[in-house]
Structure 1
Amino acid sequence: MSRVVRSSAKHLAQKLLGQSDVRGFARRQKLWISKKIYRRPVAIADLRQCLIDLGVTPGRTLWLQSSWNEFYNVPLRPSEMIELLRDLLGPNGTLAMPAFPIDQDPDRVFLVDRAPVYTGLLCEVFRRNPDTRRSIHLSSSVCAVGPNADYLLKDHHLTLMPWGRDSPFCRLAELDARMLGMGAGFNFMTPLHATECLLFDEIPFFRRVFDGTIRYRWKTAGGETGEHEYMRRTGDIRPQRLRRHFGPDICIDARLSNLRILAADAKPFIERAVTLGRRGITMYIQPVPRPELFNSSKGSIA
């Protein structure tokens, strides 16, 4: 479907529905219907055992992306959900979540320890935990707590590629991290973006999904200040296009009442995404992924 056709369809849907945010409206309608169908409360013991079965075990590094709207049958507050995860991981485990700032205006100073996130209520509650640390990145920062938190976060503001080498996302693979999507699903698995960073120099197509750089200033609560410049990603994506390529050898699906949970190990997950990228299989629909753009070019991987 061309960009013109998609744009026309979007404007038509906005007019018919009387909504400017068609996707948001669709999500709210889906949630409303789900609440009518799925009414069974989730027992905490069942949730705990499900998480253990999905790899949330002592000493692991866990990456969690979530949609708290989908936890309506789970009788826990966000802080209690975080406590449950940390209890399962134990003192030697590390918990990490996305902490992408709501305000990404590069003309304003990014207040690392204060800027709220748009990645969900659970992430925001986690960010506010006194023990939680946050990486310095205006668009793709990450929060973490635990023994591996420093390694995950410390170099994010030194990277040019938001999800590339030395970013928290690629370091998840190095740490044999387990990834969970709770109520968020495959579409929200941010480590998929490692592909365009790792293949930036190798595959011409992935150079087209970036357009210049963004430079901003940052400041921590302790008074540290600095500047950081990173590549600006553009384009239009449909991550669900890749889902069929991530079978049970990579991704496991589970469900408790309405709550869907997706689990995967970071290393094979990212490796599969990169392999697909080399074959011209991508979540991008803009720029158009023309086959000739996936011929390997000289250069090292970014």
Structure 2
Amino acid sequence: MEEELTESEITEQLAELGIEPGGTVLMHASMRSVGKVKGGPVSVLNALRHLLGPDGTLVVPTFTSDNSDTSSAHQEKIRGLSDEARVKFCENMPPFDPATTPSTGMGVLAETVRCHTNSTRSAHPQTSFAALGAQAAKITQGHRLDCHLGKHSPLARLYDMRAHVLLLGVGFDRCTAFHLGEYRVIDPPRRKYRCVIRKDGLRQWWEYEDVALDDSDFGRLGEDFERVSASGAVRKGRVGSASCRLLSFVDAVDYAQSWLLEHRATGYGRSPQC
């Protein structure tokens, strides 16, 4: 029988990976990859907060890709429905509420952060972030509804703070920081998005234009980033059963910007998640 990891063991392993007091960390995580932990995701969260200390901040994506009629998640939900059933489904979609709307596909650890009493969450109805710690409010405030992951999003604040990215049992294909590189190329492709919001107390559809997000090649981008990065830019280790990486947010974004310019002459927006 697989032994349960204790909170102290998780803390020790995260410290070896490089989590330090006062840091700001954007985390993507898979508890399934970590394995059995005594106390579950709460113990992992406690370990991270203990290491970051009172001056540190933990940030997680709390995206709601199914709050849309332009996303792949939405298309999967309505697959096989009649035209009438599709219309009814869209009419019954609830508006995004940062206080109560659960994230979609972000994992139980991200949801544990989102549901924490002291967490704050940004207001974007499709690509929100939740944060805990000293800089939580600064990171999450001002997330414009027409900017998924660009200069008016928490990613830009994390870049300015020289944060780190923790990939806890997940690969580079989950590295949201790379999306900021998409915004920083010259004249990135754009597309229309639609989602459900509540404005002036009324449920309504919100349509806007933003960069055409595409994570389909992030795995390859990450492999190249890791291969050419200077020593220390990507730290590798294990937490429980999970292979983990801790990387420089600034280095990841800067490399993504140059890599995307070289490797994406055409073909942006192939994977509409929002």
What TM-score range do you get, normalising by the shorter chain? 0.7 to 0.9
* 1:224-272 Cα shifts (integer Å, max 9, x gaps): 9997845263657132111332125332221245211111011111111
The partner residue of 2:152 within 134, 154, 166 is: 166
For 1:55 and 1:77, locate their aligned partners in 2 and report how far apart those are by CA, in whole Å: 22
Q: What letter corresponds to residue 267 of structure 1 in structure 2?
A: V
- Counterpart of 2:82 in structure 1 is none
Q: Is the 8 A contact 1:240 1:283 kept in 2?
A: no
For 1:101 and 1:287, locate their aligned partners in 2 and report how far apart those are by CA, in whole Å: 18
For 2:199 and 2:110, locate their aligned partners in 1 and report how far apart those are by CA, in whole Å: 21
- Counterpart of 1:253 in structure 2 is 236
Q: Is the 8 A contact 1:138 1:216 kept in 2?
A: yes
Q: Report % sequence identity.
A: 24
For 2:46 and 2:152, locate their aligned partners in 1 and report how far apart those are by CA, in whole Å: 28
For 1:224 and 1:252, locate their aligned partners in 2 and report how far apart those are by CA, in whole Å: 47
User: Which runs of 5 or more residues in structure 1 are unaligned?
Assistant: 1-34, 289-302
For 1:52 and 1:217, locate their aligned partners in 2 and report how far apart those are by CA, in whole Å: 40
* 1:91 counterpart = 2:77: no
- Counterpart of 1:53 in structure 2 is 16
Q: Is the 8 A contact 1:253 1:263 kept in 2?
A: yes
Q: Is the 8 A contact 1:111 1:219 kept in 2?
A: no
Root mean square deviation of aligned Cα = 3.1
Secondary structure in structure 1 of the residue aligned to 2:222: helix
- Counterpart of 1:109 in structure 2 is 95
Q: Is the 8 A contact 2:10 2:44 kept in 1?
A: no
Q: Is the 8 A contact 1:112 1:218 kept in 2?
A: no
For 2:132 and 2:202, locate their aligned partners in 1 and report how far apart those are by CA, in whole Å: 20
TM-score, scaled relative to structure 1: 0.70
Q: Is the 8 A contact 1:186 1:262 kept in 2?
A: no
Secondary structure in structure 2 of the residue aligned to 1:151: helix
Q: CA deviation at 1:215?
A: 5.5
- After TM superposition, the structure 1 = structure 2 runs for residues 37-76 of structure 1, keeping only pairs within 5 Å, are 39=2, 42=5, 44-76=7-39
For 2:56 and 2:215, locate their aligned partners in 1 and report how far apart those are by CA, in whole Å: 35
* 1:177 counterpart = 2:163: yes
* 1:211 counterpart = 2:191: yes
Q: Is the 8 A contact 1:103 1:115 kept in 2?
A: no
Secondary structure in structure 1 of the residue aligned to 2:263: coil
- Counterpart of 2:263 in structure 1 is 281
Structure showing greater radius of gyration is 1
For 1:271 and 1:191, locate their aligned partners in 2 and report how far apart those are by CA, in whole Å: 10
User: Which runs of 5 or more residues in structure 2 are unaligned?
Assistant: 70-92
* 1:200-244 Cα shifts (integer Å, max 9, x gaps): xx14xx31xx32243642479xx8999784526365713211133
Change (3 A) 1:284 1:191: farther
- After TM superposition, the structure 1 = structure 2 runs for residues 88-167 of structure 1, keeping only pairs within 5 Å, are 88-101=51-64, 103-105=66-68, 108-118=94-104, 119-158=106-145, 160-167=146-153
Q: What letter corresponds to residue 53 of structure 1 in structure 2?
A: E
TM-score, scaled relative to structure 2: 0.76
Q: What letter corresponds to residue 139 of structure 2 in structure 1?
A: L
Q: What letter corresponds to residue 257 of structure 2 in structure 1?
A: V
Q: CA deviation at 1:282?
A: 4.8
- Counterpart of 1:14 in structure 2 is none
